[in-house]
């Protein structure tokens, strides 16, 4: 068996065993749901309902607000309570639509299956936009926008991302095991729109059962090629995935279609399938709740469900809650408020107890170059960091800081516990300011 | 109360203390060997050297109001390496002064851990050689159970280590013994004259192997440094430029100590793989030139110190950025 991989990267403890055998469980909605208008990269959506309005599951409650923006749908049936200033999982407080659940109106999404062939490529893209679909692997980039490939760019390789390299998280793993056929059906839709030469389904070799599951369908969907990747972080990163499969590097500042590639996460593919074939908008997603909780789980949750509700549903934390993280341990963001809601890009909730939370005393850089060795973008984090300390952002830019995707590999290996990715985030923000 | 730390929220098991004390641990077998070869005075000088290094660092950090981190292990390494670079019958103050210079001038005045340009221990040695040349290069004692030169009988050449015999225009007999398998074996084991910690290639290799496996030192630097010395002296031996074989060259003097423990110092070596190969190869070339044509019998310390100066330049050899 030939394992595909990329240059650089790290091997953290994956701890996927905590939640990987827990089947996806639909969770009862909480009493209140908070839907931040900022669900994705781009422009926040704009509310289209009034306070006290009754809402249904899947009802459009906010519309897309220009380019790079998608609508937002209610994830429960109930009453709209108005806009509140609510904690946001990406930091700070942002406007969120508060909805009070009506427990009497239980709901299952039941729509007749539609024939994909009825729609043109443009109609499919419009459906995807109207369904509010964004990349569900974490980046939350509006999918319709990505699907609109410029006419001069030809997609050769369509890559379905089932790598799920972030430690602890198992949502995509469960989706592959439980909904493999839906993934294939979703890919067929993407194939229609993009018309690629080859289709790849990429999975890391720590998920052999998922690979076997996909292989069961190889006779029904002969166009799909399965690629098995070495378990190494960040294999699931778009650029690294393209590099491992095609050998091509996305140019600096460029996009995957510049090398004829298109990557879509398995969760997003299922959302596309449900939107196109069942007119179902994106109002729920699978979230892994893991760490030192009594019952690590993969929940199918209404978007807008507060983190604390889900942590409670997994049996609560043992050892004292110290940190609640939106996402996994490598890239996840520590939360100030436990009532922060799940958004479309929330892949998981990781809890760390007192023992696991890092007490980091930062030491000077000893130039061990571990960060240089592991950087999958071939940067020299130690050098860039020193220029950022001197506030020389131009030099940092020259050394490639804008190529940093904040995967956290350098911060993970740094023996001096220097929070390198945070410095790069800061430098990138400063460079953005200058640009404006 | 929730804690807020920046991502990543997990770290690799490697940290500064582990690296520093790992290097100290790798030097312990060498120290034990030197006690076996040279007696307890080796331990005595080494302890003084370490205490001087730690104390200097403590005083400096105290006076300048910095975090006290004199026990992070780096000063201990410097102390041990300074002692390893002096002869065993040096006066007690020699390692004390050497470590003081290494830590105060070379390390702390340049900004402390991580900011020094030169390897502190090597610069300390260079300072001692320049200040007290007779103590540093003409003050040898034979090991307890062996001879200074590693050769049984030598007319009028009793005051020389195997390496220093070379610049004394030795006669054919001497050269023959230097090239003999017994000589190589003696050098490999370390039962010969030389600085406290440089004689035993075997023990140095054991320590370095541990560092390579743990990832506390980069084998590329050692391989390119020692390897290029081996290859170049091999060619010169073949051409008749040097009378002794390349195995003698890499096992004698400080090549093993320097190539395995000093050139690989993280702070003073390049951060890129390409840079490290160039650093090692150029260091090796310099070492051979200094050994064969300069005034001192040894070229290891100056070759590494000179290459230390090129590190900022070598760090500019950035590998191509992904997609650029």
Instruction: Please answer whether residues B254 and B305 qualify as being in contact, where contact means their C-beta atoms are separated by less than 8 angstroms.
Output: no
pLDDT tens track for A235-277: 999 999 999 999 999 999 999 999 999 999 999 999 999 999 9
> In whole numbers, what is the pLDDT of chain A averaged over residues?
94
pLDDT at B158: 54
Residue B183 domain-assigned (yes or no): yes
Long-range (24+ apart) CB contacts under 8 A made by A21-24 are: A22/A170, A22/A174, A22/A295, A22/A296, A22/A297, A22/A298, A23/A174, A23/A178, A23/A298, A24/A174, A24/A175, A24/A178, A24/A286, A24/A298, A24/A299, A24/A300
> B16 and chain A: CB distance < 8 Å anywhere?
yes
Residue B3 domain-assigned (yes or no): no
| Final residue in a domain of this structure, among B105, B137, B169 | B137
The DSSP string of B280-302 is HHHHHHHHHHHHHHSSSS--HHH
ipTM: 0.91
CA distance B60 to B62: 5
**Closest Cα of chain B to A44: distance in Å?**
25
Do B129 and B193 lie in one domain? The reply is no
Nearest by CB to B323, from A251, A370, A411: name it. Answer: A251
Residue B1 domain-assigned (yes or no): no
Residue B320 domain-assigned (yes or no): no
Q: Which residues of chain A have pLDDT under 70?
A: 1, 106
| Nearest residue in chain B measured CA to CA from A7 | B322
pLDDT at B153: 54
pLDDT at B113: 94
This prediction has a pTM of: 0.92
pLDDT at A421: 96
Question: Fold for domain A1-27+109-358?
Answer: Rossmann fold (3.40.50)
Instruction: Please answer whether residues A12 and A233 qualify as being in contact, where contact means their C-beta atoms are separated by less than 8 angstroms.
Output: yes
Rg (alpha carbons) of chain B, rounded to whole number: 20
> B18 and chain A: CB distance < 8 Å anywhere?
yes
Tell if the CB–CB gap between B7 and A403 is shorter than 8 Å.
no
Residue B6 domain-assigned (yes or no): no
Do B283 and B192 lie in one domain? The reply is yes
> A252 and chain B: CB distance < 8 Å anywhere?
yes
Tell if the CB–CB gap between A331 and B269 is shorter than 8 Å.
no
Do B177 and B98 lie in one domain? The reply is no
| Nearest residue in chain B measured CA to CA from A378 | B321
CA distance B54 to A315: 51
Do B188 and B279 lie in one domain? The reply is yes
Tell if the CB–CB gap between B3 and A334 is shorter than 8 Å.
yes
pLDDT at B61: 96
Residue B171 binned pLDDT confidence (cut-offs 50, 70, 90)? confident
Do B43 and B104 lie in one domain? The reply is yes
Residue B5 domain-assigned (yes or no): no
Tell if the CB–CB gap between B323 and A380 is shorter than 8 Å.
no
Tell if the CB–CB gap between B7 and A13 is shorter than 8 Å.
no
Q: Is the pLDDT of residue B154 over 80?
A: no
Tell if the CB–CB gap between B5 and A357 is shorter than 8 Å.
yes
pLDDT at B11: 93
Do B78 and B29 lie in one domain? The reply is yes
Residue B152 binned pLDDT confidence (cut-offs 50, 70, 90)? low
| Averaged pLDDT for residues B193-216 | 95
SS (H, E, C) chain A: CCCECCCCCECCCCCHHHCCCCCEEECCCCCEEEEECCCCCCCCCEECCCCCCEECCCCEEEECCCCCCCCEECCCCEEEEEEEEEECCCCCEEEEEEEEECCCCCCCCCCCCCCHHHCCHHHHHHHHHHCCCECCCCCCCEHHHHHCCCCCCCCCEEEEECCCCCCCCCHHHHHHHHHHHHHHHHHHHHHHHHCCCEEEEEEECCCHHHHHHHHCCCCCCCCEEEEEECCCECCCCHHHHHHHHHCCCCCCCCCHHHHCEEEEEHHHHHHHHHHHHHCCCCCEEEEEEECCECCCEEEEEECCCEHHHHHHHCCCECCCEEEEEECCCCCCEECCCCCCECCCCCCEEEEEECCCCCCCCCCCCCCCCHHHHHCCCCCCHHHHHHHHHCCCHHHHHHCCHHHCCCCCHHHHHCCCCCCHHHHHHHHHHHHHHHHC
Do B108 and B165 lie in one domain? The reply is no
Q: Is the pLDDT of residue B118 over 80?
A: yes
Residue B164 binned pLDDT confidence (cut-offs 50, 70, 90)? confident
pLDDT tens track for B11-63: 999 999 999 999 999 999 999 999 999 999 999 999 999 999 999 999 999 99
Chain A residues with CB under 8 Å of B5 CB are 323, 334, 357-358, 360, 419
Instruction: Look up residue A175 and give its two tokens.
Output: 């989706």
Domain count, chain B: 2
| Nearest residue in chain B measured CA to CA from A15 | B10
Nearest by CB to B8, from A330, A399, A416: name it. Answer: A330
Residue B153 domain-assigned (yes or no): no
Residue B39 has what DSSP assignment?
A: -
Among B5, B9, B113, the residue to mutate for chain A (most A Cβ within 10 A): B9
β-strand A284-290 against A348-353: which pairing, if any? parallel
Do B308 and B172 lie in one domain? The reply is yes
Nearest by CB to A335, from B2, B14, B113: name it. Answer: B2
Tell if the CB–CB gap between B9 and A352 is shorter than 8 Å.
yes
Q: Is the pLDDT of residue B156 over 60?
A: no
* Residues pairing with A317 in the sheet: A293
Do B244 and B124 lie in one domain? The reply is no
> In whole numbers, what is the pLDDT of chain B averaged over residues?
92
| Averaged pLDDT for residues B257-267 | 97
Q: Which domain, by its residues, includes B57?
A: 16-137
Residue B254 domain-assigned (yes or no): yes
Which of A175-189, A276-290, B159-173, B288-302 has the weakest average pLDDT? B159-173
Nearest by CB to A367, from B6, B271, B323: name it. Answer: B271
pLDDT at B146: 79
Q: Where are the domains of chain A?
A: 1-27+109-358, 370-435
* Residues pairing with B36 in the sheet: none
Nearest by CB to B6, from A254, A335, A421: name it. Answer: A421
Tell if the CB–CB gap between B267 and A366 is shorter than 8 Å.
yes
Do B164 and B268 lie in one domain? The reply is yes
Do B119 and B179 lie in one domain? The reply is no
Do B185 and B221 lie in one domain? The reply is yes
* Residues pairing with A160 in the sheet: A201, A264
Residue B315 has what DSSP assignment?
A: T
């Amino acid at each position: 068996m030939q394992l595909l991989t990329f240059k650089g990267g790290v091997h953290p403890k994956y701890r996927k065993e905590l939640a990987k055998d827990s089947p996806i469980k639909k969770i009862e909605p909480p009493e209140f749901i908070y839907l931040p208008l900022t669900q994705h990269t781009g422009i926040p959506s704009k509310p289209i309902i009034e306070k006290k309005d009754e809402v249904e599951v899947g009802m459009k409650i906010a519309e897309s607000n220009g380019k790079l923006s998608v609508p937002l749908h209610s994830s429960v049936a109930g009453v709209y309570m108005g806009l509140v200033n609510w904690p946001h999982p990406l930091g700070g407080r942002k406007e969120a639509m508060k909805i009070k659940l009506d427990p009497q109106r239980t709901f299952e999404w039941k729509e007749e299956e539609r024939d994909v062939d009825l729609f043109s490529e443009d109609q499919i893209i419009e459906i995807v936009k109207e369904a509010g679909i964004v990349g569900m692997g974490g980046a939350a980039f509006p999918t319709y926008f990505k699907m609109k490939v410029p006419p001069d760019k030809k997609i050769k390789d369509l890559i379905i991302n089932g790598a799920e390299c972030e430690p602890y998280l198992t949502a995509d793993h469960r989706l592959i095991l439980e909904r493999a056929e839906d993934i294939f059906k979703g890919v067929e839709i993407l194939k229609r729109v993009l018309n690629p030469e080859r289709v790849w389904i990429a999975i890391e070799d720590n998920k052999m059962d998922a690979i076997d599951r996909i292989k069961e369908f190889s006779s029904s969907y002969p166009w799909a090629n399965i690629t098995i990747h070495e378990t190494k972080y960040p294999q699931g990163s778009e650029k690294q995935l393209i590099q491992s499969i095609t050998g091509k590097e996305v140019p600096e500042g460029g996009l995957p279609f510049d090398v004829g590639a298109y990557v879509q996460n398995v969760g997003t593919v299922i959302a596309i399938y449900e939107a196109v074939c069942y007119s179902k908008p994106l109002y729920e997603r699978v979230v892994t709740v893991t760490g030192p909780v009594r019952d690590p789980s993969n929940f199918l949750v209404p978007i807008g469900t507060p983190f604390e509700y889900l942590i409670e549903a997994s049996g609560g934390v043992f050892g004292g809650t110290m940190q609640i993280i939106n996402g996994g341990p490598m890239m996840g963001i520590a939360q100030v408020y436990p009532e922060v809601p799940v958004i479309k890009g929330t892949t998981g909730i990781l809890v760390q107890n007192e023992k696991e939370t890092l007490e980091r005393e930062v030491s000077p850089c000893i130039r061990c170059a571990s960060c240089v060795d592991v950087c999958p973008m071939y940067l020299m984090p130690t050098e860039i960091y020193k220029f950022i300390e001197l506030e020389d952002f131009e030099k940092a830019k020259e050394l490639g800081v804008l190529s940093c995707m904040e995967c956290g590999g350098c911060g993970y290996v740094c023996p001096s516990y220097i929070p390198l990715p945070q410095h790069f985030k800061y430098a990138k923000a400063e460079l953005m300011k200058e640009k404006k | 109360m929730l804690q807020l730390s920046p991502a990543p929220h997990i770290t690799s098991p490697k940290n500064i203390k582990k690296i520093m004390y790992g290097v100290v641990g790798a030097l312990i077998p060498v120290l034990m060997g030197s006690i076996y070869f040279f007696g307890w005075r080796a331990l005595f000088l080494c302890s003084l050297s370490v205490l001087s290094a730690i104390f200097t660092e403590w005083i400096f950090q105290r006076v300048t109001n910095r975090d006290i981190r004199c026990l992070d292990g780096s000063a201990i390494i410097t102390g041990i390496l300074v002692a390893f670079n002096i002869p065993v019958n040096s006066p007690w103050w020699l390692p004390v002064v050497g470590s003081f210079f290494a830590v105060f001038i070379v390390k702390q005045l340049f900004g402390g851990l991580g900011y020094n340009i030169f390897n502190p221990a090597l610069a300390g040695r260079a300072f001692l050689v320049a200040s007290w040349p007779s103590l540093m290069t003409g003050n040898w004692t034979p090991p307890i159970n062996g001879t200074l030169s590693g050769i049984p009988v030598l007319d009028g050449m009793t005051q020389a280590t195997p390496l220093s015999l070379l610049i004394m225009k030795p006669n054919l007999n001497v050269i023959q013994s230097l090239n003999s398998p017994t000589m190589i074996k003696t050098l490999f084991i370390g039962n010969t004259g030389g600085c406290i910690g440089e004689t035993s290639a075997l023990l140095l290799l054991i320590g370095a192997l541990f560092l390579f496996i743990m990832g506390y030192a980069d084998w590329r630097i050692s391989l390119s440094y020692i390897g290029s010395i081996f290859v170049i002296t091999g060619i010169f031996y073949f051409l008749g430029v040097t009378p002794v074989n390349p195995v003698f060259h890499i096992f004698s003097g400080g090549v093993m100590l320097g190539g395995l423990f000093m050139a690989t110092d993280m702070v003073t070596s390049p951060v890129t793989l390409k840079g490290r190969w160039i650093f090692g190869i150029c260091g090796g070339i310099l070492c051979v030139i200094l050994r064969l044509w300069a005034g001192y019998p040894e070229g290891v310390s100056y070759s590494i110190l000179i290459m230390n100066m090129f590190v900022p330049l070598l760090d500019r050899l950035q590998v191509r950025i992904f997609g650029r």
